[in-house]
A and B are shown apart, each in its own frame.
Chain A
Amino acid sequence: MTLPPRLASVLLAIGCVAVATVGLRSTQPDVDARDYNVQIVPGRVGQAVHIRGGELEVTNVRFGSALAEYGEVSDRTAGMFVVLTIEASDTGTKDLQLTDSRLFSHEITYDSYGFPGGPLVNPGFRSTLDVAFEVDPDLIDDLTLDIYQSQLISGYAQHARISLGITAETAERWRASGRGRTLEVGKESRQGIG
């Protein structure tokens, strides 16, 4: 059976538009997406990543239900706290500023609990600090740290994405490790790289 030429033309034109739509949608940047205008620098716990002329490493991950400073409980949650120990070394010539961070678990985003959300290091120095996040204990698998510097004027920027290594299988163990536990949040410490 052959189609009338006009109908065939219409169908082919629709096909052209469909192909064009798919092509455009697959290459058009999604401004609402997490990865919009972002160069992702991937990493995992215990591994240093190079970012903005320096090095960054998540050295420890702790789960708990309360936060403490100088031995005094400062905050409690019905959910769970995650405290990450972050070490950053500025090996470049400008300040290494990564004071914004968040945690992703699939589609869920958790903002940092308090400020700063990351280190601000001067050239030639190393800084260690704890950054806390309040999370839903049921939604912690595949937790990933996104750490960056937000700016008023931004372009294609670098974000470090550190996977915390929590899988659906190991999530229950992480939850259990944090139940009823108080986490001491240390103050930022600095020292020369030497």
Chain B
Amino acid sequence: MVWTDLAVLVADTSRVWWRLLPQISTIYLLGWLGSELSLRLAIIGGDISPWLSLVLFAFNFVCVLGAAVLILGAAGRELGIRQLIPADEAEQDDRDTSITRLLTITLLPFLGMYAAFGQVKEAADRLLTGQIVRYGVLGDLPTINGMLANLADEHRLRLLGIVVGIYVLRRVVDRLRERTGLRPLGFVVVLLESFFLLVLILGGIRVFQQFRLWLVDRALVQWLVEARDSLARFLAIFRIDLPQLIVAVGQFLDTQVWPVLWDVLTQPILWLAVAALVYGSRVLTLAELWRRGQPYARRIPGASVFARFAEKRALRRLAAQARLGAPPKGVRLAATQVKEAFFGDIDDKYLPTFHSLRLVLRAGVGFLGSYVLLYTAIVVAKNSWTSLVHALIGGHPGEFWVRWEPVVELLTEGPYEPLRLCLLAVAFRRCLEVFRLRTETPLSFPPPQGAPVGRVAVAAATRRGAAANVAPAREELAVPSPTSEAPS
């Protein structure tokens, strides 16, 4: 029931946040400090080269993401998310032991989220503003935006070469890291990944804009316009103003439907899916198996899409050998290696992200509704707090905000970002509980020591919701319930 989920999410989030407040506040502050410092250095680095500026700018995201991942990890530990995996299944994923590995795996989806929800653009604007303040509007030193726009406008092949080159370099360094086990290489991979994504996003936007302009001039688009006009002339017979209708429908979609879909539904759900990646492939695999109603013990290593990359690679090799006989040699071996180098990323990052999203979406409408409500409540509180802070500081000229922006951002974001991350961890844990309860009757593994926060609220809420086929509390899991067995 929605009320149960809501009670669990509210109680657990507030308790985890309160218990970890000193720890997560410190991590957040360090992330903020690193991010602001690298942004300032990126502005100064522009004096030497816009490429150096871009590298430092990429480091800004590494700091932000690093803090987010660490906070999610801390909240996950407090909630005992990893302990949900039975001892015989608790094989270590390399993301558990290496923060750089975890960062490389999660950087792409996290940066994708930052880009999709405007945070990359926001940071790029801050960098541009800083460079304008430093060089002046008419300054002749090239900015990052100017440089990438120039590449996209006049040297598209060079831009493509740079993108492919960075990608290959990153894969090579990643393989080197895998073979040598050198941890500093992991950090280089993270930085290269961030740099690669920023070049792709910032340069890609320009290429996309040019493509749109090019498309508008094509005969095909003119035919479509002509077809629309013909239809409009035809509909005019029935006194239907087609252009007006299109504008009205477009406006309705743009102002009413899209904000609901994007800000209210998509954003919280995508963040939850991305946050789930932090907890490791084992957790996701288990969740997937719970969702499907398969006992975890029947899991075959490598059979799941969430299996470790190395397992899948080994399995693929075995399957290929079984199918084709001897392993590939010569050119075919090289082709296999190249394919592996390029498409290994899809296995490593894109597929888990996609499946993580699929998983979250199947947690049930009741859970999703209450999670969306709570997530939005945090955003609403942050918006209101930001307005209040602005009103207290009062209106000032632009230079004031450039100087004080880091502090203002800390004041407005600081209290809410750790809370939001705690909610993501709690929501994912709740997701796992929902799956487990749909497929298992007795409690196979006890709740971790010190983990069950929000017990009282959960138990009380669950007693009300148990009759309505909802996930009961952790301590009630031992009690077989006929209603909890049926998948909803």
Which B residues between 349 and 394 are near A, CB-CB below 8 angstroms?
364-366, 368-370, 372-373, 375-377, 379-380, 383-384, 387, 390-391, 393-394
Binary flags per residue of B1-18, CB closer than 8 Å to A gives 1, else 0:
111001000000000000
A17 at the interface (CB under 8 A from B): yes
Chain B contacts for A16, CB-based, 8 A = 2, 6, 369-370, 372-373
Q: In whole angstroms, how far apart are the Cα atoms of A149 and B469 in the complex?
A: 61
Binary flags per residue of A18-31, CB closer than 8 Å to B gives 1, else 0:
01110111111100
Binary flags per residue of A27-46, CB closer than 8 Å to B gives 1, else 0:
11100000001110100000
Q: In whole angstroms, how far apart are the Cα atoms of A23 and B393 in the complex?
A: 24
Question: Which DSSP category, helix, strand, loop or mixed, fits chain B's interface?
Answer: helix
Chain A: minimal CB distance from B461 (Å): 14
B23 at the interface (CB under 8 A from A): no
B400 at the interface (CB under 8 A from A): yes
B90 at the interface (CB under 8 A from A): no
Chain A contacts for B368, CB-based, 8 A = 13
Chain A contacts for B6, CB-based, 8 A = 16
Chain B contacts for A14, CB-based, 8 A = 369
Which segment, of A101-109, A119-127, A155-163, A171-179, faces chain B? A155-163
B339 at the interface (CB under 8 A from A): no
Chain A contacts for B395, CB-based, 8 A = 38-39, 41, 156-159
Q: In whole angstroms, how far apart are the Cα atoms of A15 and B376 in the complex?
A: 13
Of all chain A residues, the one with the shortest Cβ separation from B373 is A16
Chain A contacts for B391, CB-based, 8 A = 39
Whether B397 contacts A52 by the Cβ 8 Å rule is: yes
Bin chain B's interface residue count.
35 or more
Chain A contacts for B390, CB-based, 8 A = 37, 39, 156
Partner of B1, one of A5, A26, A29, A52: A5
B137 at the interface (CB under 8 A from A): yes
B218 at the interface (CB under 8 A from A): no
Q: In whole angstroms, how far apart are the Cα atoms of A115 and B364 in the complex?
A: 61
A12 at the interface (CB under 8 A from B): yes
Of all chain B residues, the one with the shortest Cβ separation from A27 is B383
Q: How many residue pairs bridge A and B at CB < 8 Å?
A: 117
Q: In whole angstroms, how far apart are the Cα atoms of A10 and B383 in the complex?
A: 28
Whether A156 contacts B396 by the Cβ 8 Å rule is: yes
A68 at the interface (CB under 8 A from B): no
Whether B402 contacts A153 by the Cβ 8 Å rule is: yes
Partner of B376, one of A24, A29, A37, A159: A24
A152 at the interface (CB under 8 A from B): yes
Whether A152 contacts B137 by the Cβ 8 Å rule is: yes
Which segment, of B169-177, B204-212, B258-266, B281-289, faces chain A? B258-266
Chain B: minimal CB distance from A96 (Å): 11
Chain B contacts for A27, CB-based, 8 A = 380, 383-384, 387
Chain B: minimal CB distance from A45 (Å): 22
Q: In whole angstroms, how far apart are the Cα atoms of A156 and B386 in the complex?
A: 11
Chain A: minimal CB distance from B387 (Å): 7
Interface size on A, residues (CB 8 A): 36
Of all chain B residues, the one with the shortest Cβ separation from A4 is B468
Whether A13 contacts B397 by the Cβ 8 Å rule is: no
Whether B397 contacts A156 by the Cβ 8 Å rule is: no
Whether A13 contacts B376 by the Cβ 8 Å rule is: no
Of all chain B residues, the one with the shortest Cβ separation from A151 is B398
B133 at the interface (CB under 8 A from A): yes
Q: In whole angstroms, how far apart are the Cα atoms of A77 and B122 in the complex?
A: 44
Whether B365 contacts A29 by the Cβ 8 Å rule is: no
Chain A: minimal CB distance from B145 (Å): 15
Q: In whole angstroms, how far apart are the Cα atoms of A158 and B364 in the complex?
A: 47
B98 at the interface (CB under 8 A from A): no
Q: In whole angstroms, how far apart are the Cα atoms of A74 and B317 in the complex?
A: 86
Chain A contacts for B1, CB-based, 8 A = 5, 8-9, 12
* Minimum-distance CB pairs A-B, first 10: A13-B369, A155-B401, A158-B395, A39-B395, A153-B398, A20-B376, A16-B369, A27-B383, A16-B373, A12-B2
| Cross-chain pairs A/B with CB under 8 angstroms, 11 sampled | A12-B2, A13-B365, A21-B376, A24-B264, A24-B380, A27-B384, A29-B387, A151-B398, A155-B396, A156-B393, A158-B394
Residues of chain A whose beta carbon lies under 8 Å from any beta carbon of chain B: 5-6, 8-10, 12-17, 19-21, 23-29, 37-39, 41, 52, 149, 151-159
Residues of chain B whose beta carbon lies under 8 Å from any beta carbon of chain A: 1-3, 6, 129, 132-133, 137, 259-260, 263-265, 364-366, 368-370, 372-373, 375-377, 379-380, 383-384, 387, 390-391, 393-402, 405, 468-469, 488
